[in-house]
Amino acid sequence: MTDRTILLTARVRLSRADSVFVATDGSYAPASAATAAKVFIEIDGRRVTNESSTDWRVTPNPWAVPVRHSFNAVGATRLGKGSHVVELVGEAVSGEFTAAAGSNLSVFVHPAERVAVGQLDHEEGPFGFTTRGRSPSNPPHTAVVSVRVSPNIPAVAVGSASLRGATSDESSWGDPMASIYADGRHPGNGSSLWAVQEIGSNELEAPVFTHALFRTNKPHAVVSLDATEFPWFDAGGPLENPIEDGARYLVRPTAALVVLSGGLGVFGGAPALAAGHTDSNGTSLDYYCLASSSGFPGCEPIGSATLLAQASFRVPTKHPGVVFFTAKTRVQGDNADPGGLVSVWLTIDGVRRGSSGVQEIAAPSGVSQRTVTASYLSTGTNALKPGRHTVRVYGRADGQFVHISLVRDIPLIWFD
């Protein structure tokens, strides 16, 4: 597509005024290195989500390879009684791009009793944190979108933004990171996903997206989407040989945070099934190997559908069976990787459902990190019947990778 295009459309009719949560996951690809694109959701012609944007125009970098990218946008609003039109919009800022089949549009009416929404109306930054010598479980950070929530009750949060290098030259290249915090503290990667997007070698601007689950009744009066930075390290290990990540970046306008609480009956999360490395547990460096094309120890063969996370849950009697599932993880390759595709998807009771998250990795920037996502809303004829159900998250790598890795940060959340 070369212009503004309506990719998907949904219609909802409300018998009374109510809150509505909307989300999209999918992937898009440029036709050339001269491409920049964004996707977002509108309701009745008004944008209600962040713009999930990627700018592949890395002109100072002659070896840049434009690759397929995972995208995500989230938002919520209150709508009046009557009919409403919800549209997933794709827009080419420059050049031409394609959106993959399997990209989705979810519209969830009355997702919770309390829906708190924050959206950035201006550009924030530049951010250039110093992470050398700091613990990878507590890097420096700054809140860019914050919402107040009712304390002492469980909550689910989703955040999505686009990041751009502060300049177009190599001085801004690096690995910006974002995550969801509660009262200024990170709740740990068992509750909140660290989302990383390399900026510079392949994209000048690209999206990050994250989620968090606050299961317990610990106070969390303010929930925020924070800008931070991934701590770099040499091969000797994250603590033995730290080096400084040179990222300098901006958080683009429209960054969004949605926090849902109250009345959550069917909700929860599942940890990663894989074991990590003891010295990295609980940090932003908590990797495990997904697959290898060279027989690297501890890795599945390339092309394997690997179970990343799973959980069983119960839908009560008289429950409408409408549940939103979101899976996210982070992809980390190696400089020696020729490259390929990494994909993530969901199954419910053994049936593949929802969007497919796809991220392409290409030489010579195989080490660049990106976050990948998939989601599914069980509704309509696919609403879940009362009783026990099982949700699973799978990942797969196709191509040539030394040891393509994912992170153990909470990979799966669901809520009704």
Q: Is the pLDDT of residue 163 over 60?
A: yes
Is the pLDDT at 2 greater than 60? The verdict is yes
8-state DSSP, 408: -
pLDDT at 116: 96
Cβ burial, residue 184 (10 Å; 0-12/13-18/19+): exposed
Task: Mean pLDDT check: name the lowest of 36-40, 77-81, 229-233.
Answer: 229-233
Q: What are the Cα distances from residue 28, in Å, to 25, 96, 259?
A: 10, 11, 27
The whole-chain average pLDDT of the chain stands at 92
Contact predicate 58/204, CB 8 Å: yes
What pLDDT sits at residue 237?
Answer: 46
Report, in angstroms and rounded to the nearest whole number, the Rg of the chain calculated over CA atoms. 20
Assign 365 to helix, strand or coil. Answer: coil
Q: What is the mean pLDDT of residues 355-380?
A: 93
Q: Is the full-model pTM beyond 0.85?
A: yes
pLDDT at 278 exceeding the cut of 90: no
- Per-residue pLDDT tens over the stretch 94-144: 999 999 998 999 999 999 999 999 999 999 999 999 988 788 888 999 999
Count of CA atoms in the C-beta half-sphere (13 A) of 334: 18
> Looking at the predicted structure, is the pLDDT value of residue 217 above 90?
no
Low-confidence winner among 46-55, 334-343, 361-370 (lowest mean pLDDT): 361-370
Q: Determine contact, residues 361/325, Cβ cutoff 8 Å.
A: no
Phi, psi of 308 (to 5 degrees): -95, -40
pLDDT at 215 over 80: yes
CB 27 within 8 A of CB 174: no
The predicted-structure confidence for 34-72, as pLDDT tens digits, reads as follows 999 999 999 999 999 999 999 999 866 666 788 999 999
Nearest to 20 by CA among 74, 94, 62, 58: 74
363 class by beta-carbon count within 10 Å (0-12 exposed, 13-18 middle, 19+ buried): middle
Residue 236 binned pLDDT confidence (cut-offs 50, 70, 90): very low
DSSP 192: B
Least confident among 79-88, 188-197, 227-236? 227-236
Q: Are strands 176-182 and 18-30 parallel, antiparallel or unpaired?
A: unpaired
Instruction: Give the pLDDT mean for 273-300.
Output: 90
Angle ∠(80,10,393) on CA atoms, nearest 5:
115
Distance CA 318, CA 83 (A): 26
Of 60-69, 157-166, 356-365, the least confident: 60-69
pLDDT digits (tens, 9 = 90+) for 254-273: 999 999 999 998 999 999 99
Res 234: pLDDT:
52
Please, which pLDDT band fits residue 211 given cuts at 50, 70 and 90?
very high
Query: Which DSSP string corresponds to 142-174?
Result: EEEEEEE--TTS-EEEEEEEEEEESSSSGGG-B
Q: Nearest 5°: CA angle at 51, between 37 and 333?
A: 65
Considering the chain, what percentage of its residues have pLDDT values greater than 70?
96
